[in-house]
Amino acid sequence: MKELSKKVVNLLRKKKLKISFAESCTGGMLASSITEIRGSSKIFTLGLITYSNQSKINILKVKKNIIIKHGAVSYETCLSMVKNLRLISKTHITVSITGVAGPGGGTKSKPVGLVYIGVKKGKKILIKKYLFKSKKRKTIQRSSVNKALNLVLSIAK
């Protein structure tokens, strides 16, 4: 993960791009992976851990009916998180992560390991759905961070 984080920091520094994160199931692991890299203060602006539905609604301005209709772990919530973070942070790139890290909390329709990651740069928005096979919380969180970092690299190039 550290090499991937270094690549992201170096690429964004070179391109003079700023980034911000809204994390749920990763609990700040994405922000931590970036801030452990020297020079990250040049590119990293804001990290929000909007773990509860209430914080997604109050801080990220995700509409309550989106969460009621689709759930906190959904394409629609992830999209709303990444778009609204852009309005709050004013950064070039925004990233949102929402999912079920387990080991409990999964359902038949939203099993443990289901994660949505959103990345926005300008008008371009990618929302990716992942279903990680592991049922281990840390593994799901790390896998989510790795996928998010790779998505940032692909959208920032």
Give the residue extent of every domain in the chain. Answer: 2-156
| Chain segment 49-102, per-residue pLDDT in tens | 999 999 999 999 999 999 999 999 999 999 999 999 999 999 999 999 999 999
Return the pLDDT at 84: 98
Return the pLDDT at 14: 97
Would the CA dihedral through 20, 84, 108, 52 be positive or negative?
positive
Residues 6+ apart with CB under 8 A from 153: 4, 7, 8, 11
- DSSP-based three-state secondary structure for 47: strand
Say yes or no to pLDDT of 1 above 90: no
Percent of the chain with pLDDT over 70: 100
Mean pLDDT value of segment 2-6: 95
Regarding the domain with residue range 2-156, which homologous superfamily does it belong to in the CATH classification? CinA-like (3.90.950.20)
- Among residues 114, 143, 141, 119, the alpha carbon closest in space to that of 129 is found at 114
Return the pLDDT at 17: 98
What is the pLDDT confidence band of residue 38, given thresholds at 50, 70 and 90? very high
